[in-house]
Amino acid sequence: MPFHHTVLPNGLTLIGESNPQARSVALGFFVKTGARDETPEVSGVTHFLEHMIFKGTPRRTALQVNEDFDRIGANYNAYTSEENTVFHASILPEYLPQAVDILADILRPSLREEDFDMEKKVIIEEIGMYDDQPMWATYDVAKQTFFGDHPLGKSVLGTKESIGQLQCAQMRDYFQRRYVSSNIVVVATGRIEWPDLVRMIETHCAPWPDQPTQRALPPGPKTRAFKLIQKPTVHQEHCFLLSQGPDAKSPLRYAAEILATAIGDDTGSRIYWALIDPGLVEAADFSVHEYAGTGAYYGYFCGEPDSTTPCLDIYLNLLREVQKDGLTEAEIRTTKSKLASRIVRGNERPMGRMQALGFQWTYLGQYRTVDDDLASIDSVTSDHIRELLDVHPIDEPTIVALGPLEKMTAPYNES
């Protein structure tokens, strides 16, 4: 499938992959901004701004934005992470001009004071909703404990206090600094005619301003800590285990995907057989997140409070075994098959392929085919796993537990 790459005079980057056999088109605007780019004074502004993007423009009210998307049968949404804000839509090919018009329009929002004041209440309610979900509450505390003062320790949602104090003028200033053309990548996949798409994007986006943007990329933490948070209203104990992993550009990132999947996939992994299949916990997993400049392994389990300590011992002993001995050749072969299947299935649909292309370009600045990714997975050997474990050990993670437990013995002294 042909790959396309165009940069407009204002610095806006367009990439795409055309597939004449596809029956749909996926279009996304990837804005390289997230919680890590915020100052403490505007904590949560990126996610709040994502909401405000849909609240109307000089050309459309919020109702008209939704009606125009619905009129073309679009499957549309947006999300915010520590590093990116993505706006996307999947449509039939004949509605691509309208989708471009709507997405480009909402990315120049009005940011009206009255909309800001109303949406602030929605954001505060959303923060409360996540606070009531113990898994997410534990995740946030664990991430902040592990990353500390590192930019990745910042909460995507912010706090009720930070959102409550946020002013519309601060959001407008943040938007003007971060939503500039050279900080945005437009990605399209499916049945597209590239020259036509470039003309559409240029018509709507050529006037967008540009200016330099910056992002701090300090090294990731190598600390360990243990924290117990008592929350009597929670019935289960939730436990996160974090340790440093490879960054998004590391040549070891494919080995990390194999390692994490073999350890903590939701079926057939070491953690599955050690904790889930015997019924010792309700849920457990282990995954790797690759960020710009660093990465992290995230382990998790939840279950009955009385079984937390023995389950944590099982989890840590499993990590120590892998740290010492690596993975077996059989585990590596099986995991390669799992990941290859997921890569192929995830990239078959235009929406999945669009997401993959967008993140590859955002983090690597390069185009990779599905075959490139399959070859990278297939090339991983036990020696790569050993090298990965030597550089990024997994056996002494930062541990945070939240639930009804009043006391819990730390598995090691805090550093």
Cβ(308)–Cβ(405) below 8 Å:
yes
Beta bridge pairs of residue 27: 89, 188
Q: For the structural domain made of 226-403, what CATH number should be given? A: 3.30.830.10
Instruction: Determine the average pLDDT of the residues in 198-216.
Output: 96
Same fold: 3-205 with 226-403: yes
Cβ(83)–Cβ(156) below 8 Å:
no
Distance, in Å, from the CA atom of 213 to the CA atom of 184, rounded to the nearest integer, reads 11
| Proportion of the chain above pLDDT 90, given as a percent | 96
- pLDDT of 415 reads 47
DSSP structural state of residue 61: B
pLDDT interval class at 413 (50, 70, 90): low
β-sheet with 184-190: strand ranges across: 3-7, 13-18, 184-190, 25-31, 85-91, 75-80
Integer-rounded Cα Rg, in Å, for the chain is 22
pLDDT in tens, 108-132: 999 999 999 999 999 999 999 998 9
SS3 6: strand
Select from 3.30.830.10, 3.40.630.30, 3.40.50.150, 3.30.2320.50 the CATH code of 3-205.
3.30.830.10
* Residue 311 burial (CB count, 10 A): 21
Q: pTM above the 0.75 mark? A: yes
Cβ(311)–Cβ(296) below 8 Å:
no
Cβ(112)–Cβ(122) below 8 Å:
no
Identity of the amino acid at 202: E
Instruction: Determine the average pLDDT of the residues in 394-400.
Output: 96
pLDDT interval class at 414 (50, 70, 90): low
Distance, in Å, from the CA atom of 69 to the CA atom of 115, rounded to the nearest integer, reads 20
Identity of the amino acid at 350: P
Distance, in Å, from the CA atom of 289 to the CA atom of 260, rounded to the nearest integer, reads 10
- pLDDT of 3 reads 97
pLDDT in tens, 252-294: 999 999 999 999 999 999 999 999 999 999 999 999 999 999 9
Residue 403: both structure tokens together: 């639930």
DSSP characters for 17-32?
EE-TT-S-EEEEEEE-
Q: Helices 329-348 & 350-364, crossing angle to 10 degrees? A: 110
Phi, psi dihedrals of residue 17, rounded to the nearest 5°: -135, 120
Q: What angle do CA 346, 350, 354 make, to 5 degrees?
A: 80
Identity of the amino acid at 90: S
Cβ(285)–Cβ(356) below 8 Å:
no
Whether residue 196 has pLDDT greater than 70: yes
Whether residue 248 has pLDDT greater than 50: yes
pLDDT in tens, 343-374: 999 999 999 999 999 999 999 999 999 999 99
pLDDT in tens, 157-191: 999 999 999 999 999 999 999 999 999 999 999 99
Q: Tokens 């079984």 map to which residue?
A: 307
Identity of the amino acid at 93: P
- pLDDT of 244 reads 97
Instruction: Determine the average pLDDT of the residues in 54-58.
Output: 97
Q: Both ends of the chain: CA-CA distance in Å?
A: 51
Instruction: Determine the average pLDDT of the residues in 27-56.
Output: 97
Q: How many residues does the chain have?
A: 415
- Domain ranges within the chain, ordered by starting residue: 3-205, 226-403
Whether residue 195 has pLDDT greater than 70: yes
Distance, in Å, from the CA atom of 119 to the CA atom of 104, rounded to the nearest integer, reads 21
Q: Which residues contact 283 (CB under 8 A, 6 or more apart)?
A: 276, 300, 301, 302
Instruction: Determine the average pLDDT of the residues in 381-404.
Output: 97
Phi, psi dihedrals of residue 56, rounded to the nearest 5°: 120, 155
Cβ(38)–Cβ(45) below 8 Å:
yes
pLDDT in tens, 312-330: 999 999 999 999 999 999 9
pLDDT in tens, 283-308: 999 999 999 999 999 999 999 999 99
- pLDDT of 1 reads 81
Residue 294: both structure tokens together: 């660093």
